[in-house]
């Protein structure tokens, strides 16, 4: 199945498919929030690079790093289209403008896969993170639960990586209770 979707990009990179409405939702949400000009401008440039697909109503495939932080020293090839560190800002923008809480939840699942280091492993199963279809979005959320169980992430962990980033941005104190 992975061979059908994936363009077989380099290790350390994952592919994510967005439909044109999802791309526009993100662009709109980023445009309404102050203080996200770098992410907003970069997202706009990505849309410009994929203008033909988006104006034709087709999905686009964007590449993301499989893990947070710098790319591996032995990385070669084309750098990812989107920085993983943008995802919390995108999620927060979608939640703030009340655009689509469900879509924000799916993006949170994608970010958690990247932040917790199992995105590349999931990419080997499915080849592509398909946010453009209902089945693809459901698969991401189901795989998230499976990976949490397989890697023994605590079910008591109620604070996600996105919550942590938002707490740091707002100055809130994050508390972990047993």
pLDDT at 167: 53
Give the predicted TM-score (pTM) of the model. 0.76
Residue 15 bridge partners (DSSP) = 63
pLDDT at 48: 92
Residue 16 bridge partners (DSSP) = 62, 129
Q: Is residue 131 part of a domain?
A: yes
pLDDT at 149: 67
Q: Is residue 44 part of a domain?
A: yes
Q: Is residue 96 part of a domain?
A: yes
Q: Is residue 165 part of a domain?
A: no
Q: Count how many domains the chain has.
A: 1
Tokens of 126: 């499915």
Q: What is the mean pLDDT of residues 102-120?
A: 88
Q: Is residue 64 part of a domain?
A: yes
Q: Is residue 119 part of a domain?
A: yes
Give the residue numbers spanning the domain of 119.
2-68+80-153
Which residues fall within 8 angstroms of residue 9, CB to CB, at 6 or more apart?
A: 15, 63, 77, 78
Q: Is residue 26 part of a domain?
A: yes
Q: Is residue 170 part of a domain?
A: no
* Structure confidence at residue 162 as a pLDDT band (50, 70, 90): low
Q: What is the mean pLDDT of residues 146-175?
A: 56
Rg (CA), the chain: 16
Tokens of 177: 């209770």
């Amino acid at each position: 199945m992975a061979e059908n979707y994936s363009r077989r990009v380099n290790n350390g990179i994952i592919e994510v498919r967005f439909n044109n409405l999802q791309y526009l939702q993100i662009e709109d949400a980023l445009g309404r929030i102050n203080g996200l000009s770098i992410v907003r401008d970069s997202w706009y440039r990505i849309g410009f690079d994929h203008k033909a697909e988006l104006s034709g109503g087709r999905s686009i495939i964007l590449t993301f790093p499989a893990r947070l932080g710098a790319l591996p020293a032995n990385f070669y090839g084309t750098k990812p289209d989107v920085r993983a560190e943008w995802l919390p800002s995108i999620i927060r923008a979608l939640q703030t403008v009340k655009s689509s809480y469900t879509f924000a939840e799916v993006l949170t699942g994608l970010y958690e896969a990247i932040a917790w280091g199992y995105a590349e492993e999931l990419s080997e199963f499915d080849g592509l993170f398909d946010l453009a279809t209902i089945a693809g979005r459901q698969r991401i959320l189901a795989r998230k639960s499976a990976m949490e169980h397989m890697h023994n992430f605590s079910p008591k962990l109620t604070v996600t990586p996105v919550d942590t980033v938002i707490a740091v941005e707002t100055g809130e104190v994050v508390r972990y209770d047993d």
